[in-house]
Structure 1
Amino acid sequence: MRKISTKIAAFILIATLISACNAEKRVPDGKQLLTKNQITVNGKATKEENIFNQLYQKPNSTLLLGYRLRLNLYNLANLNPDSTYQAKFTNNPGKYERKSKWLSAKQVDRLGKSFWYHGIHDFLKTTGEPPVTIEKEKTDKSILRLKYYYFNNGFFDVEANNEIDTLSIKRAIVKYAINTGSGYLLDTIKTSISTAVLDSLYETIRPNSVIKSGKQYRTVDFEDEKNRIATHFRNNGVYFFQPTYVNFDIDTINKKNKADVNLIINDYSYQEKDSTRTEPFKIYKISDVNIYTDYSPNNTSLKITDSTTYKNFNFYSHEKLKYKPHAITDAIFITKGGLFADNKTVLTTRYLNNLKIFNYPSIQYEIDSRDTTSTSLIAKIYLTPRKKYSFGTSLDVTHSNIQDIGIALSISETIRNVFNGAETLEISARGNIGSSKDLANPNNQFFNVSEYGLDLKLNFPRIFMPFSTEKIIKKSMIPSTLMAVGFARQQNIGLDKENFTGSFSYNWTPMKNTTARFDLFNVQFVRNLNPKNYFNVYGSSYDALNAIGKIYNTESTYFDNDTKKNLIIESGTSGFINDVLSLRTDLLPSDAFYADVKSIEERRVRLTENDFILATNFTFTKTTKTDLLDNTFYLFKTKIESAGSLLSLISNTTNQSVNENGKYELFNLEYSEYIKTEFDYIKHWDLTKEKVFAVRTFFGIAIPFGNSDNVPFSRSYFSGGSNDNRAWQPYSLGPGSSGATNDFNEANMKIALSSEFRFKILGDLKGALFADAGNIWNVYDNVVDEKSTFTGFKSLKDIALGTGFGLRYDLNFFVLRFDFGFKTYNPANETGEKWFREYNFAHSVLNFGINYPF
């Protein structure tokens, strides 16, 4: 506790020293520090971000509560460290000679470039921010930009001015006053389209025009209308059309706050030798689609030696054609006899690139000289094959809710066009060593987790079925089929596992920004290699059983010695459990301790038995995120999974016998049967100035039935950890208000809600304030503990709340994250002790993570 107090005191001292810096220290004489911008529009103050973004000058950035950290850091820097260093010797010439004898003249000179004399000041200058002083030239530019902003929004008579409100000799506020006048509304809208065919095309989309009578003028609407018209024309055969051909004549003469609009599209003009010619636009059709399957800039002079035609597509190759034609034509949406269309060009490029057997394709069009009407285009698609074989390696440092740190090495071999149908086969091997303080570790080894595995993935760029699915899943949805098998062996100073997996899945994109995945089957066989180590791993279960054994065990061979009387793992624990359940001790089924032993044994059997899961699932994802820098988006993901039902149907139909537990078996193993569904929603709001507010909600439930009384451990839920409720360690929260009595607490229903406010501190160092709520419960399974089960809305009182703060460092390719979580509401505590009783550093949880939690 003393160390924590010292750290807090040091932090307060540093903060006090920094805050004591004079913000005006670097403000030149005759200049004033810009402390604030104020804008009034028609006499009313505004905080609208778009308006403030028009200003050329903005005050120095602030941290929380308006503190200008970066300005104060800049003020701490020595702007001329070289001069300061040399001044030490100028004022004391003998000092340089003495140091030169001790170090050498060269080393003394280099000392002036060291971190303490020079580097620290460079860091402060780079990380810090020079004072923003008021400049008349920039305030004048701001006035012009404000006028343009309102003019572009329909206020043609806008007036703007500014004044400087002096706070002190070196501090001032700039006040901008804007009088917009009345906005101009669009009145009569006419069209003057010279080419008749374009006039007809425009009429089909005219009702959806962005430019409408009665709407206020906005420049951006006219740009949008230009692009809308050009897109429509170019998707309907008008090859030479560009947005620049769309012009607007806006007439405000003799109009009061109204404007007439004339949409003008002149004929096509082009340069022919030294003169400019004009003619009506034409609609172009595709006369041929030529595909060059082994194009390279280096082989353009080589002769075509192989060619074929398939469904009106012409294939050309310098060598023997290596691809089945349908594999490529399935990815091409440009068709012979069809109209030229930009969207088909984009879709074709996207699909061909998605095959992953070619470099980014090139599609070019040229006028077909065979057509005397000059209304035909030849589409030429140039494909450059990637190497058939490619070898890859990767070395990663990983972190998960179980593994504190891990080092993973993977190697892979990719084979392209395996069966000449654009298929790709990936063979990969991986190995991982890691460290986890949460696992039983009797030898105190740092690297106490290891895993190795082998995976094979075969991808088909189509729906692999014996019948056509084109009417259901069109090829524009970029469908693919993935077959995968894998094996992994894990050693974690625990039960150790072998994991065999296999899947057959279909993937497609129903529409933009959405993805769908259907696993026709997903099989998993988990084999526990070291089940006798159970009570070494699950120490809390052993402690509970051992306490009962000291009272009721009468078999001396189960004890380690006659003094401590601890049950021996494995012989003593299994022997005592068998004696209790066989009624060979004084415990009776009506006794509470008997129920405890039975519960411990049921959990041991469940977590040590091998699992066989044959599931079918469907996953749907929709997001509005455009790229990694997009901070205003949402993501919705839902999944439904059914396991074991097909096997039960077959068992019932074929009259298979059940085992002593009344369950069906496959390969002498009770297979799992359950239904599971999940809903995940993430939303981000960009609050500007590198401030982001993010929320996440999650709900998941897995209900066992038929051949199962519970859900397999690998399909259950847990709570806590760096990507969940950060005030609790992984698996240490719940179920319900039970108080996490087991070592690895899990259940079959989960609710999680998280929110986070992210902000910039300085440079690439970011901060966050967060709140995480949620818990796990047992529902519709064989758990009877009331504290652990969900019994209705009253169980929502067991939702735990953790709050805290975090630091993140952005390394561009990933983000290092440190989060301090504090237990704000702990449902496991007694009534009256739930709120803020553990809200201190002693009970806080430090989470290390890679990238943001959501």
Structure 2
Amino acid sequence: MKFIYISSITIWIFFLFFCEFLSAQVQLPDRLLEINKINISGNRFFDDAQILESFATKETPGAISKFLYNLFGDKFGKPNEYFYEDIFISDLERLKQLYSDNGFFDVNIISDFHISKDTTKLDIYLNIIESNRATIDTVIYAGLENCKDISVQEISAKSLIKKGSYYQKSLVNEEANRVIDLISNKGYPFITIITDSSRAERYYSTNTFKIKYFFNPGQKYKFGDVTILVEPQRPDIVPSIIEKYLEFRKGEIVSKSKIITSEKNLNRLGLFESARIDIKENFYYDSTGVMPVIINLRPKNRHELAPEIIFSDEDNTFNFGVGLGYTNRNFLGNARNFTSRIRLNTQSIMDWNFKRVFSSTGLNDETVQGIAELNLQIIQPYFFTKSLNGSWTLSLLADKKNFYLVTLIRNKIGLVNQFATYTTGYFEWTLERSNVNWLEDTIKTGLSLLRLRQEQQPQFNSIFSFTLQRDKTNDIFSPTEGFFHAASIEESGLMQSVFKNLQPTIPYTQFYKITLFGRWYKDLTKRKFNIFALKLKAGYQDKYGESKLNPDKSIPLSRRFFAGGSGSIRAWKTRTLGAIPQHEIQLGGNFIFEGNVELRVNHLRGFGKLWFLNLENFWTVYFFDFGNVWNSLSDVKFTDIALASGLGIRYDTFVGPIRLDFAFRIYDPMEVYGKRWITDKKFFKETLYNGVLNFGIGHAF
């Protein structure tokens, strides 16, 4: 877009500014001067950091950085920075342009220099007089006169720039793109903006702009014939399956957004390696107003049997295991998928006492933790509507913890709906038969026989849950910007209390559970060098109704809150932290509050490779964790919040970062008074010796 300024005075102002700068330079000596400090005043719109970020002229780094540079080079430190006249002039011109792009066309930048007594160092002073900011007076949309179904009022209703708003070049360009997107969804897919006829005219006398956009909408089109090409061919993929998930039909007005959404629908089916919607070749020579479409599909194998090696962070501890999965894509037609999976998973295998396991106790040993699971699942995409997916899952699970074995039979029906681009809702109805078998060593922990019998009662629960989550992070594995919010609520017992006669002999528990979860990420450097990350989690559950009054009924162990581990408070091993009597920590709690703060720094950026390792993939993580688990809200005390800190290393891979964290306790509420704080203990013999090493795949959050 052209920019025409209806004045020649600005050229004269810049000439005076340039002469003033040159006159200031006459005082500077011929030798190179080290830049000690750049001082900025008068700026309101841009802060000092933004201005200095745009400058090639930099301040000399501190003594430590210079020492490291002299010792190791620019990988660890920075050299002295010197003043160069031509570079400084370019910096000022760039700063003036930056201000102009945001409406400050009369900005005046006055520079001054102070030289040290030994004439080796230079202080630069910039005084910025921003003056008045230009506003927009008129916005004109031209070239759309023949588009009878598009009104200027409709276009301007959601305009990014309006009369009286401040001028900003980026918004002017964004508005052009917004209008192109709007009109391309109304039958004009080849609309363009004519740059020679579009302009931004500034009137110096009023410091206002007239913005004129001139568009060439081209011909209006309707969707024509749809050709489906499947390569390699699969006889089970018939046109009716594909057409069901298209957002457009033959004869409808062409809409680019419908084409994009249709592509997403097809790619989410899980049937294809890729699904692409294109315009038919040689279409541009057709002037009938009909746009034929071709859909190119590359299907995955219909039947797939795949062995698995499992690495995960389930239960906030390192999981390693093996599995075997079978997938049938397009099971019984209609894009339905069937999967079956069996897995054997070890947990915290580094803590197993293999001597006892192989000599006497076997897998019943209290150090052994693991999961054996069989899953059968049918997924129906676009259940009733295109944004709603359904699933039916049957699971058989044996979950071995330190002192007990939980066996579960679970039948789950789930619905997933995408409410908006970043917002997804999950509804689940779970029928769960659970049974707890206590191991012999459990009696040694101090639990009463009455409590053991209470927890050991088999249960059959009907559980409804709903989760709403909003994900605006910019990366699945290693986010550097954005946030993730989730809120979930569970209810159990309503179904059984209404239909009591259906299961008169098997106990059930009426309870509810609420969980709030959030993750936030911020790139502190704008170049993915220093990432701030924060996680907060809070949850509460309690019995209600008849179960509230019955001490023999308990919330199932598989539904309780636990703290400690690689994704929780890392200075405690998984499920070993709690503001609960020591012998009951293994049973979990009913209220949890925990948080994690991380600073992820890419110290080795620019170091290249060492053998087969890419050093730039290494990250150093400084972290601080806090939180605990309580039996009830009434038990919560501020002095019960555990504090931990530590240092970690990440190595980025294509499946996410490999993680190693060492954590130590800053404040341990489980200790006796006088030994709780880190200052109460010997740093090496107690604090570091009792530290916890956590290994995992993926970030802690």
Indicate the TM-score class for this superposition, using the shorter chain for normalisation: 0.7 to 0.9
Q: Which residues in structure 2 correspond to 1:396-475 (within 5 Å)?
A: 396-398=310-312, 403=317, 405-436=318-349, 443=356, 448-463=368-383, 469=384, 474-475=385-386
Q: Does 1:853 align with 2:700?
A: yes
Report if the CA contact (8 A) 2:231-2:297 is conserved. Answer: yes
Q: Distance in 2 between matches of 1:154 and 1:127?
A: 39
Q: Deviations over 1:533-570 (max 9, x none)?
A: 33x146432xxxxxxxxxxxxxxxxxxxxxxxxxxxxx
Pick aligned residue for 1:540 from 445, 451, 462: 445
Instruction: Look up the match of 2:71.
Output: 76
SS of residue paired to 2:181: helix
Pick aligned residue for 1:746 from 588, 597, 619: 588
Report if the CA contact (8 A) 2:343-2:374 is conserved. Answer: yes
Larger radius of gyration: 1
SS of residue paired to 1:735: coil
SS of residue paired to 2:514: strand
Report if the CA contact (8 A) 2:33-2:122 is conserved. Answer: no
Q: Deviations over 1:111-152 (max 9, x none)?
A: xxxxxxxxxxxxxx6853563643625444433322221111
Instruction: Look up the match of 2:179.
Output: 229
Q: Which residues in structure 2 correspond to 1:25-44 (within 5 Å)?
A: 38-42=38-42
Shift of 1:487: 2.8
Instruction: Look up the match of 1:363.
Output: 277
Q: Deviations over 1:745-798 (max 9, x none)?
A: 51112222343344444445544444433322223xxxxxxxxxx327xx3334
Q: Deviations over 1:147-176 (max 9, x none)?
A: 221111112234447677667999856636
Pick aligned residue for 2:627 from 774, 781, 786: 774
Q: Distance in 1 between matches of 2:624 and 2:430?
A: 36
Shift of 1:220: 0.6
Q: Deviations over 1:442-466 (max 9, x none)?
A: 7177994454433222211122xxx
Q: Which residues in structure 2 correspond to 1:468-487 (within 5 Å)?
A: 469=384, 474-475=385-386, 477=387, 479-487=388-396
Q: Deviations over 1:474-511 (max 9, x none)?
A: 42x2x211222233445567434544333221112111
Report if the CA contact (8 A) 1:514-1:620 is conserved. Answer: yes
Whose relative contact order is higher, 1 or 2, with alpha carbons under 8 Å and at least 6 apart? 2
Q: Distance in 1 between matches of 2:64 and 2:263?
A: 50
Provide TM-score, normalisation by structure 1. 0.66
Counterpart code for 1:292:
I
Shift of 1:816: 1.6
Pick aligned residue for 1:695 from 520, 528, 534: 534
Instruction: Look up the match of 1:80.
Output: none
Pick aligned residue for 2:451 from 584, 603, 613: 603
Q: Does 1:665 align with 2:505?
A: yes
1:810–1:439 CA distance, 2 compared to 1 (3 A):
closer
Q: Does 1:805 align with 2:646?
A: yes
Report if the CA contact (8 A) 1:538-1:743 is conserved. Answer: no
Counterpart code for 1:852:
H
Shift of 1:418: 1.7
1:376–1:354 CA distance, 2 compared to 1 (3 A):
same
Pick aligned residue for 2:300 from 380, 386, 399: 386
Shift of 1:32: 6.6
1:439–1:495 CA distance, 2 compared to 1 (3 A):
farther
SS of residue paired to 2:91: helix
Q: Distance in 2 between matches of 1:221 and 1:807?
A: 42
Shift of 1:731: 2.8
Shift of 1:206: 0.8
Q: Which residues in structure 2 correspond to 1:238-253 (within 5 Å)?
A: 238-243=188-193, 248-253=198-203
Q: Distance in 1 between matches of 2:80 and 2:288?
A: 62
Instruction: Look up the match of 2:11.
Output: none
Pick aligned residue for 2:432 from 500, 508, 524: 524
Counterpart code for 1:264:
Y
Q: Which residues in structure 2 correspond to 1:133-282 (within 5 Å)?
A: 133-134=81-82, 136=84, 138-160=87-109, 172=121, 175=124, 177=126, 179-191=128-140, 193-198=142-147, 200-243=150-193, 248-253=198-203, 255-256=204-205, 258-267=207-216, 281-282=218-219
1:219–1:462 CA distance, 2 compared to 1 (3 A):
same
SS of residue paired to 2:189: coil
1:625–1:132 CA distance, 2 compared to 1 (3 A):
farther
Report if the CA contact (8 A) 1:825-1:836 is conserved. Answer: no
Q: Distance in 1 between matches of 2:71 and 2:286?
A: 77
Q: Distance in 2 between matches of 1:439 and 1:603?
A: 27
SS of residue paired to 1:338: coil
Higher strand proportion: 2
1:448–1:262 CA distance, 2 compared to 1 (3 A):
closer
1:264–1:834 CA distance, 2 compared to 1 (3 A):
closer
1:225–1:796 CA distance, 2 compared to 1 (3 A):
same
Instruction: Look up the match of 2:10.
Output: none
Q: Which residues in structure 2 correspond to 1:647-726 (within 5 Å)?
A: 647-652=496-501, 664-666=504-506, 670-688=507-525, 690-705=529-544, 706-707=546-547, 709-726=553-570
Q: Distance in 2 between matches of 1:393 and 1:34?
A: 62
1:430–1:146 CA distance, 2 compared to 1 (3 A):
same
Counterpart code for 1:153:
N
Shift of 1:265: 1.1
1:396–1:214 CA distance, 2 compared to 1 (3 A):
same
Counterpart code for 1:179:
I
Aligned Cα root-mean-square deviation (Å):
3.8
Q: Distance in 2 between matches of 1:617 and 1:394?
A: 30
SS of residue paired to 1:351: helix
Provide TM-score, normalisation by structure 2. 0.80
Q: Distance in 2 between matches of 1:772 and 1:808?
A: 16
Instruction: Look up the match of 1:582.
Output: none
Shift of 1:184: 4.0
Q: Distance in 1 between matches of 2:44 and 2:260?
A: 48
Shift of 1:436: 4.6
Shift of 1:804: 1.9
Q: Does 1:292 align with 2:217?
A: no
Q: Distance in 2 between matches of 1:355 and 1:173?
A: 64
Report if the CA contact (8 A) 2:424-2:469 is conserved. Answer: yes
SS of residue paired to 1:377: strand
1:437–1:607 CA distance, 2 compared to 1 (3 A):
farther
1:152–1:170 CA distance, 2 compared to 1 (3 A):
same
Give the percent of matched residue pairs that are identical in Structure 1 and Structure 2: 17
Shift of 1:700: 1.3
Q: Distance in 1 between matches of 2:58 and 2:517?
A: 39
1:244–1:391 CA distance, 2 compared to 1 (3 A):
farther
Report if the CA contact (8 A) 1:417-1:423 is conserved. Answer: yes
Question: Structure 2: any 5+ residue segments left out of the alignment?
Answer: 1-30, 359-364, 606-615
What is the number of equivalent residue pairs in this alignment? 638
Q: Deviations over 1:678-704 (max 9, x none)?
A: 111222333226333333322212222
Q: Distance in 1 between matches of 2:505 and 2:59?
A: 72
Pick aligned residue for 2:598 from 731, 756, 766: 756
Q: Distance in 2 between matches of 1:60 and 1:810?
A: 32
Report if the CA contact (8 A) 1:226-1:246 is conserved. Answer: no
Q: Deviations over 1:97-121 (max 9, x none)?
A: xxxxxxxxxxxxxxxxxxxxxxxxx
Moved more, 603-612 or 140-149: 603-612
Q: Which residues in structure 2 correspond to 1:32-71 (within 5 Å)?
A: 38-42=38-42, 47-56=47-56, 58=58, 67-68=64-65
Report if the CA contact (8 A) 2:61-2:79 is conserved. Answer: no
Question: Structure 1: any 5+ residue segments left out of the alignment?
Answer: 1-29, 78-124, 269-280, 297-317, 464-468, 542-598, 657-663, 780-789
Instruction: Look up the match of 2:634.
Output: 791
Q: Does 1:376 align with 2:219?
A: no
